[in-house]
Amino acid sequence: MTEIENLDNAELSSRHFSWTFIASLGDFLDAGMFAGTGITLGAISALLHFTTFEDGLPALITLLGTAFGALAFGRLGDLYGRKYIYQVDMIIYAVASILLAITGVFPTRMINTVWAMIFYALIGIAVGADVPTSWSLISEFAPKRSRGRLFSITNVMWYVGVLIELGISIALVNTGMVLFRVIWILLGLVAIFSWFMRRRLAESPRFQIMKGENEEVRNTLKQLGINATGAERKESYSRHQYVELFTKYGSFVAFAWFLYLMWGIPASTYGEFFPYIFNSLHLVSARATFAFEAIYFGSAIVPGLLIFYFLSDRLNVGRVPLYLISAAMSMVSFYLLVYPPFLRNVAVLLVSFLLFGIGQGLGVWPITRLLSIEHFPTSIRDSGQGFVWFTMRFEAGIFGLFTPLIVGANGQHVEYIGWIAGTFFLLALIVVGVMSRVAPFYVKTEGRSLEETSRDSEVVG
DSSP string, 317-375: T-HHHHHHHHHHHHHHHHHGGGSGGGGG-HHHHHHHHHHHHHHIIIIIHHHHHHHTTTT
Distance CA 295, CA 357 (A): 8
Length of the chain: 461
Task: Give the pLDDT of residue 5.
Answer: 87
CB 338 within 8 A of CB 312: no
Average pLDDT rounded to a whole number, residues 117-130: 96
Task: Give the pLDDT of residue 457.
Answer: 58
- Residue with the bigger pLDDT between 101 and 287: it is 101
Task: For residue 461, name the pLDDT band (cuts at 50, 70, 90).
Answer: very low
Average pLDDT rounded to a whole number, residues 83-87: 82
Distance CA 271, CA 277 (A): 11
CA distances from 458 to 17, 227, 370, 461 (A): 29, 21, 23, 10
DSSP conformational letter for 203: P
Task: Give the pLDDT of residue 436.
Answer: 95
Residue spans per domain, the chain = 3-229+241-455
Average pLDDT rounded to a whole number, residues 249-253: 95
- The superfamily (CATH) of domain 3-229+241-455 is MFS general substrate transporter like domains (1.20.1250.20)
Task: For residue 230, name the pLDDT band (cuts at 50, 70, 90).
Answer: low
Average pLDDT, the chain: 90
CB 60 within 8 A of CB 401: yes
pLDDT reading at 174 higher than 70: yes
Task: Give the pLDDT of residue 369.
Answer: 92
pLDDT reading at 106 higher than 70: yes
Average pLDDT rounded to a whole number, residues 258-278: 85
Provide the percentage of residues in the chain whose pLDDT is more than 90: 64
Task: Give the pLDDT of residue 460.
Answer: 45
CB 353 within 8 A of CB 283: no
- The SS3 of residue 234 is strand
CA distances from 378 to 124, 181, 387 (A): 25, 40, 15
pLDDT reading at 316 higher than 90: no
pLDDT reading at 411 higher than 90: no
Q: What is the pLDDT of residues 29-79, one digit of tens each?
A: 999 998 899 889 999 999 999 988 888 899 889 999 999 999 999 999 999
- Residue with the bigger pLDDT between 194 and 233: it is 194
DSSP conformational letter for 379: G
Task: For residue 343, name the pLDDT band (cuts at 50, 70, 90).
Answer: confident
pLDDT reading at 435 higher than 70: yes
